[in-house]
Amino acid sequence: GESLSVVMELVKSGDLGKWLRGHKKKDLNDPYHTVYRQFVEEIAEGMAHLSSKGIIHRDLAARNILITEKKHIKITDFGLAKRLEDKNYYRIKSPTDLPVFWTAPECYSPGYKVTLESDVWSFGVVMWEIYSEGRSPYLTPKRENVEHLKAVCSGERLQKSSDWPDFIQTLMDKCWQIDAKDRPSFVDIVKELKETAV
């Protein structure tokens, strides 16, 4: 079939990861993390829209999110995205090209059916990237992919900081449930973020 292209506006501020590394919390004069919270909400809303259309992004990461000059979010890089047709899953043929540090652990099981909840795991990692000011989400530097996967499956998670909002830390934990069925949907995440709004 024919391939599709996505035409977007030029976003001059670049990707979110780079922006976060260049704009530290202390420079933002934002003690209540309102800018970070806005990013989280906008990403969740964008992902809720994608999931309502049956689209799995499969590569959600700060590097694939652009930020406008007015600090609004644009989710990009749909190179790995898949549209769910009549089923609510997509079966992976080879997981070797997946971004291991952002990818849900179940995606590495042979022939596993990747669902919308797999993106929820990645969203938890993106939240961590935001609140850690754009750091890379490695549990241990220079750890091999297989070792990383074993650590995640045994319950190891990215280190959170005590100065991050409690509800954000709790939401990360919900996104990182080992059983995909225990993770919230993006609609649930958006609702929870609105309910905990300051």
pLDDT, tens digit (0-9, with 9 covering 90-100), for 78-130: 655 555 454 444 444 555 556 778 888 887 776 667 789 999 999 999 999 99
Residue 6 lies in a domain: no
Residue 179 lies in a domain: yes
pLDDT of residue 129: 96
Residue 4 lies in a domain: no
pLDDT of residue 148: 78
pLDDT of residue 89: 45
Q: What is the pLDDT of residues 17-39, one digit of tens each?
A: 999 999 877 777 776 688 999 99
pLDDT of residue 135: 93
Q: Select the more confidently predicted residue: 114 or 59.
A: 59
3-state secondary structure the chain: CCCCCCCCCCCCCCEHHHHHHHCCHHHHCCCCCHHHHHHHHHHHHHHHHHHHCCEECCCCCHHHEEECCCCCEEECCCCCCEECCCCCCEECCCHHHCCCCCCCHHHHCCCCEECHHHHHHHHHHHHHHHHCCCCCCCCCCCCCHHHHHHHHHCCCCCCCCCCCCHHHHHHHHHHCCCCHHHCCCHHHHHHHHHHCCC
Q: What is the pLDDT of residues 146-198, one digit of tens each?
A: 787 788 888 889 999 999 999 999 999 999 999 999 999 999 999 999 998 75
Residue 2 lies in a domain: no
Total number of domains in the chain: 1
pLDDT of residue 48: 98
Residue 8 lies in a domain: no
Q: Which domain holds residue 81?
A: 14-196
pLDDT of residue 18: 93
> What pTM does this model have?
0.85
Residue 9 lies in a domain: no
Residue 187 lies in a domain: yes
Residue 53 lies in a domain: yes
Catalytic residue among 59, 86, 166, 188, which?
59
CATH number of the domain that residue 188 is part of: 1.10.510.10
59 in active site: yes
pLDDT of residue 179: 93
